[in-house]
Amino acid sequence: MLFQSYILYKFILYINNSMFLKSLLIKYKSVVKFILTFLLVYLLLSVTYKLYLDYSDGSKFYPDYLTNLVAKQSELLLQSFGYDATIEKHSNEPSMKLIINNKFVARVVEGCNSISVIILFISFIIAFAGRFKVTFLYLFAGSVLIYVVNLGRIVILTIGLYHYPWRREILHTVIFPLIIYGIVFLLWMFWVNRFSNLKKNNG
């Protein structure tokens, strides 16, 4: 940690003493502002989320409230599609089992609750923020959309694994990650092109 701080300190000194880099920073001020804002917001939200996970003991909502909520909602959605679905605690790891017709099909871990993806989405939007009200509404609507799409992703993935277990690798590691990150990318592009200060400044 001390070594990293020393390297960062020397790097900052180098920037301050270099007229060339100063001119670059001035020239690309908006780019630097975006990067710094994105990193700051992402770090702040990630640390906050990490503290939430550290203080979640899993005694009431296992393994934590948000992951447990996603598991329960996935169970309800599967039941609404006519599947005999249940959830239960995983005995060997902090996750919830998704079971269809007494068959363990999938597990809902902390990484499945979409919060990390929402943090990434929020950090980008704030770094490219527009008017406060529009930014706030877009953050709220976008976060809800990501959460809902993620729920749908889990349900469809579970159904896919139930009927086509031999497709597990491509379903879990390729197709369904593309869905969630694809929607985030589309939300980013829509924001930049329609509402952000970047669009206003270039107009």
- Sequence ranges of the domains in the chain: 2-198
Interval 152-172: pLDDT, tens: 999 999 998 898 888 877 877
Q: Say if residues 73 and 61 touch (Cβ distance below 8 Å).
A: no
Interval 11-47: pLDDT, tens: 555 545 555 555 655 666 777 788 889 999 999 999 9
- The arrangement of strands across the sheet holding 85-89 comes to 85-89, 96-100, 103-108
* Secondary structure E strands in 103-189: 103-108
Interval 67-117: pLDDT, tens: 999 999 999 999 999 999 999 998 888 889 999 999 999 999 998 899 999
Q: In this predicted structure, what is the pLDDT of residue 1?
A: 44
